[in-house]
Amino acid sequence: MSEQSIFTLAVHAGERSTETTPLTGPDAGRSYTPVVTPVHHSVGYIYEDTEDLDAVFAGASENPVYTRYGNPTVNAFEAAVASLEGGAAALAYSSGMAALHGALLAAGARAGAAVVAAQDVYGATYALLDRLLASQGVTVRFVDVADLHAVSATLQELRPVALLAETVSNPLLKVADLPALARLSHEAGATFIVDNTFASPVLCRPLRLGADYVVHSATKYLGGHGDVLGGVVAVGRPEMRRALNEVNKLLGANLAPQEAWLAHRGLKTLPLRVERQCRNAAIVAEWLNTHPQVEKVNYPGLSSHAQHALATSLFGGERYGAMISFDLAGAGRAEVFRFMEALRLIQPATTLGDVYTLTLYPAMSSHRALDPETRRRIGIGDGLVRLSAGIEEAEDIILDLKQALRVL
Ligand SMILES: Cc1ncc(COP(=O)(O)O)c(C=O)c1O
C-alpha cells in the first residue's frame, strides 16, 4: 500500500493497537476494541503469570508494568507521533525541555563529552546547555548553523557526541539545512538531534533527512490548544527508543496519561490546523512586510528571507510555517510593551502553535535567559516581536495588528 497522507495518519495513528479486550460469556474467544484509546490512570499492572512480569523487567517485552516505565495511553500517543514523523518509535516526556534533556543524555552528553548546538536555539535550550550541562562538565559550543564551514570545523575540532539544531529557529526563523547538517554530524561521529517544534511533521520530517532524534515540545503544534505541557522524541529504530527509555526510567520525566490523551486528541487535527495557520502567517507576513512601522519581517515564506530557497526545498513549496518575527521600527522594550498591551484579539501569551494567534517579546520571555549582549550578537533586538499565527480569519488578525500599531 502506498504511504498514507498525513491527514489520514493524524486521525488514525496510534489508535486501536493495544486495547483489545476478550469477550466473556457465550462469545468468549472474540474481542472488542474502543475507537479512542482510554486514559489508563493505573500506575501498576498485574500479570497472571509472573514469568511474563519478569520478562518485562528483563526488557524482553515492552508491556506495561509501572507507568514510569511505560503506559498504554502514553504509548498510543508515542506511536502516533512516530508515525507522523515517519519514524519507528517515539518516547514522550513531561515537557519539551525534558525531551531535549533526555535526548542529549541518551546521545552521551556527560562530563568529558562535547555538544555543539545552533547559536539561536530556544532560550531555555541554550540555558540547559550553557548552564546546566556545562556545569556538569559537558563542553558546549554554539555555532551559526547557516555557516556549514564553521559547523564542519567545530565538529571536527570537538568530535562532539551530538549536534543540536532547530528546523526553524526560535525566534529568528532561520531554516537549518538538515541534510547537510546530518551529513556533517555523521562524518564527525555525532548524533544529530533536531528540534522540529516550529516546523511540525506537516512541513518537514527530519528523520527522513538524516536526523537521529527528532524532538518536539508537544505543548505547541502537536497538542495545539494551549492546554497540555508535553514533549516527545521520535527515532528511526526501536532500539533507540529503548536507550531513551532506559535514561528516562531514572529521570522520571514522563508524560502523564491524561496529558498524553489530550496531546493525542490534538494531534488528530494537526495537519488541518497547521495548513490554516501557515496560510494565515503568509498573509500576515506579507502585510507586515509593507507596513512603514515594521523594520524587518522574518518569515521563510517571503522571497526576501535569506533561506527562502532552502525552505522551499525542505518544506515542499506550499507552506512555510506559521511563526513570524518582526522588528518594530525604532522600538525598544517600552514601545513593544505598549503595542502588546494594545492588542485585543491576539493574545500576548508565552507559548506558540495554538489555535489562537499569540505574540511574545523574546527579550522578556523565551530568550530572557540570555544576557543582552548575547541576544544582540545573535540578532534578537529590543524591538523584536514574535507572532504565532492561529486559525482565526487572517483579516481579523491584521485588523488587530493595525489598531495596535497605531498606539506607537
Ligand atoms: C523550539 C522549542 N523547543 C523546546 C521548547 C520547550 O518546550 P516546553 O515548554 O514544552 O518544555 C520550546 C518552548 O517554547 C520551544 O519553543
Active site residue 195: yes
Whether ligand 1 lies within 6 angstroms of the CB of 196 is answered as no
Please answer whether residues 317 and 362 qualify as being in contact, where contact means their C-beta atoms are separated by less than 8 angstroms: no
Q: Atom of ligand 1 at shortest distance to CA of 166?
A: 1
Q: Following CA atoms 2, 269, 122, 348 in sequence, which dihedral angle do they give, to the nearest 10 degrees?
A: 160
- Could you give the maximum distance between any two Cα atoms of the chain, in Å? 78
Residue 117: alpha-carbon gap to chain centroid: 16
Active site residue 268: no
Query: Which of 348, 306, 339 shows the shortest CA–CA distance to 169?
Result: 306
Please answer whether residues 255 and 289 qualify as being in contact, where contact means their C-beta atoms are separated by less than 8 angstroms: no
SS3 133: helix
Give how far Cα 344 sits from Cα of 178, 400, 407, Å: 38, 6, 13
Give how far Cα 136 sits from Cα of 118, 133, 165, 370, Å: 20, 5, 21, 19
Query: What pLDDT, on the 0 to 100 scale, is given for residue 76?
Result: 96
C-alpha 164/C-alpha 171 separation (Å) is 16
Share of the chain above pLDDT 90, in %: 86
C-alpha 351/C-alpha 358 separation (Å) is 7
Whether ligand 1 lies within 6 angstroms of the CB of 93 is answered as no
Ligand 1 centroid to Cα of residue 20, in Å, is: 35
Query: What pLDDT, on the 0 to 100 scale, is given for residue 57?
Result: 86
Whether ligand 1 lies within 6 angstroms of the CB of 388 is answered as no
Which residue among 219, 229, 358 has the greatest number of ligand 1 atoms within 8 angstroms of its CB, and so is best to mutate?
Answer: 219
Whether ligand 1 lies within 6 angstroms of the CB of 169 is answered as no
Residue 156 CB partners (closer than 8 Å, separation 6+):
188
In terms of phi and psi (left: phi > 0; alpha: psi -120 to 50; beta: otherwise), the region of 70 is left
Grid coordinates belonging to 272? 488541518
Residue 288 CB partners (closer than 8 Å, separation 6+):
294, 297, 324, 326, 401
Whether ligand 1 lies within 6 angstroms of the CB of 195 is answered as yes
Average per-residue pLDDT for the chain: 95
Give how far Cα 87 sits from Cα of 8, 46, 237, Å: 16, 30, 7
Ligand 1 centroid to Cα of residue 217, in Å, is: 5
C-alpha 309/C-alpha 291 separation (Å) is 24
Grid coordinates belonging to 73? 495511553
C-alpha 169/C-alpha 213 separation (Å) is 17
Q: Atom of ligand 1 at shortest distance to CA of 366?
A: 14
- The burial of 402, by beta-carbon neighbours within 10 Å (0-12 exposed, 13-18 middle, 19 or more buried), is given as exposed
C-alpha 192/C-alpha 197 separation (Å) is 15
Ligand 1 centroid to Cα of residue 22, in Å, is: 41
Whether ligand 1 lies within 6 angstroms of the CB of 231 is answered as yes
At 310-327, the pLDDT tens digits run 999 999 999 999 999 999
Active site residue 174: no
Residue 97 CB partners (closer than 8 Å, separation 6+):
124, 125, 128, 217, 231
pLDDT averages per 10-residue partition of the chain, 408 residues: 88 86 79 91 94 88 91 96 98 98 98 96 93 98 97 98 96 96 98 98 98 98 98 96 96 98 98 98 98 97 97 97 97 95 96 96 82 84 96 98 96
Active-site residue, from 66, 68, 130, 265: 68
Whether ligand 1 lies within 6 angstroms of the CB of 321 is answered as no
Provide the whole-model pTM: 0.96
Query: Which of 314, 324, 351 shows the shortest CA–CA distance to 218?
Result: 351
Taken in order 356, 170, 116, 202, is the CA torsion positive or negative? positive
Q: Atom of ligand 1 at shortest distance to CA of 97?
A: 11
Whether ligand 1 lies within 6 angstroms of the CB of 211 is answered as no
Ligand 1 centroid to Cα of residue 96, in Å, is: 5
